[in-house]
Amino acid sequence: MQTDQTYDFDLFVIGGGSGGVRAARMAAQRGARVALAEAGGVHGSHSDDGGLTGAGLGGTCVNVGCIPKKLYSYAAHFAESFEESHGFGWEGAAPTLNWETLKTNRAKEINRLNGIYSQLLSGAGVTVILQRARIVDAHTVEMTDGTRHTAKSILIATGGRPSVPDIAGRELVVTSNEMFDLPSFPKRLLVVGGGYIACEFASIFNGLGAQVTQLYRGEQILRGFDDEVRHFAAGEMVKAGVDLRLGSDVAAIERVAEGIKVTLQGNPQSKLQENIIVDTILYATGRVPNVSGLGLEALQVKQGKDGAIAVNADYQTSVPSIYALGDVTARVQLTPVALGEAMVLVDHLFGPPAGKAARSMSYQFIPTAVFTHPNIGTVGYSEADARKEFGGITVFKSEFKALKHTLSGSTERTFMKLLVETATDRVVGLHMVGPDAGEIVQGFAVAMKAGATKAMFDSTIGIHPTAAEEFVTMREPVKS
């Protein structure tokens, strides 16, 4: 490609997370002159008060999100596996968790991944600047040390950050960023929130051996998911040992000799209060776009709720030379979505690879998983949304005890649900709560993206004996 020598770079990327790294690397491979700035350095950095100031190369997902969370989820599953093994003839006491070993091994793996990201960028010819960047004008960025760089296009891919409400005792709580490296294992953990991050950490630390209390002020956790999935998952979490308290919130937090005292309250009309003592309080009440200090206000870049950057179909902001993608736009906050958006943007700015059509991004039928215990996997519409969108919906569902648990002694059950548009027979929603739900749903997501009908599901031979085969053997619809 022909580069524009008017500027130092053709593309300057702010943020070294999944979307930023992918955009920078792909653009450089097309021949563009690319720079990427990451405030957290290669491995992430912390402020004097212990807060995370930059996630490091790989962003939240690699450093304090998806990857370490899944590793800790694996760790938590071992406890139940040791217990369940007795039903299969294994004898003897289960080993105990060494928190320091888990932290150390996780850190080694994350450092390895940081190095891979660094090598990918340098190998593609990207200029990596490990400093914080601020946008000065439509084509200029200024680094922490005062140096300035110009670029034909600027991409903001700074992701999101945890948000903690302004409450008394706020200094005593932690966010998901700090949970992986707590100095000592929290034997008594309070999780505040009902979204997927809160539910995942509640499940994980419950599995690791903590006494977990989870508070959510709403009527049920996992708002936005299918209602039956929400209720079923909540029930399984409670069976596993999580003390889930709905319609409940924090009234006050204070340090006491025995730990941290938390005063709980019910709904605003209730005067009933209760005190509990915990070792750690995790606030997982939401994430907001990470836009502080970027200089957007001075440039009058249009922003929405919580500072989310408004973009058009080409990820272009209200300033034509500035683009944004990923969590900072608050569209769909998932790592694979940011990766997909990055590929679309690179094709838009620099053209698709030779002989290939420009990519497009569809936000319909995006599969997702929640790594609670048991896992949740879902793609497509919830039942409520499907009825609003399509009108006539036929529902198929199944609940059963997995084959493994016929000997394990576990009371865990699996739930599956299919939503079919009655008029076209197209499957428009697929949901699962059970072991490896994410792995199973990923494959079905391809079929749904291709427009699979219920008849196609019915004609597909199942793999026996598996839980996944239940999706192709549901024959009788739920009577409305």
List CB contacts of 309: < 8 A, sequence separation 6 or more.
Answer: 156, 289, 291, 296, 301, 302, 303, 317, 324, 328, 329
- Per the annotation, the verdict on 405 as an active-site residue is no
Element (H, E) at 394: strand 393-400
H helices of 33-65, where?
59-64
pLDDT in tens, 17-69: 999 999 999 999 999 999 999 998 766 654 433 333 467 899 999 999 999 99
pLDDT in tens, 375-429: 999 999 999 999 999 989 999 999 999 999 999 999 999 999 999 999 999 999 9
Catalytic: which of 77, 348, 431, 464? 464
pLDDT in tens, 92-111: 988 999 999 999 999 999 99
pLDDT at 2 over 80: no
Complete DSSP assignment for 420-475: EETTT-BEEEEEEESTTHHHHHHHHHHHHHTT-BHHHHHHSPPPTT-SGGGGGT--
Two tokens, residue 363:
């936000």
Phi and psi torsions of 167, nearest 5°: -120, 155
Q: Do 281 and 260 meet the contact criterion of CB atoms below 8 Å apart?
A: yes
Angle between helical axes of 99-124 and 66-84 (0-180°, round to 10)? 140
Rg of the chain (C-alpha set):
24
Beta strands in 279-392 (DSSP E): 280-283, 287-289, 322-324, 368-370, 376-380
What is the arithmetic mean of pLDDT over 178-182?
Answer: 98
pLDDT in tens, 204-223: 999 999 999 999 999 999 99
The span from the CA of 39 to the CA of 54, in Å, is 5
Two tokens, residue 81:
């596996």
Task: Give the residue extent of every domain in the chain.
Answer: 9-162+288-350, 170-285, 368-472
pLDDT in tens, 404-415: 999 999 999 999
Is 368-472 in the same CATH topology as 9-162+288-350? no
Fold of 170-285: FAD/NAD(P)-binding domain (3.50.50)
Q: How confident is the model at residue 354 (pLDDT cuts 50, 70, 90)?
A: confident
Q: Do 14 and 133 meet the contact criterion of CB atoms below 8 Å apart?
A: yes
List CB contacts of 220: < 8 A, sequence separation 6 or more.
Answer: 194, 227, 230, 231, 234, 246
Q: Is 414 helix (H, G, I), strand (E, B) or coil?
A: strand
Fold of 9-162+288-350: FAD/NAD(P)-binding domain (3.50.50)
Maximum distance among all Cα pairs of the chain, rounded to whole angstroms: 72
The CATH code of domain 368-472 reads 3.30.390.30
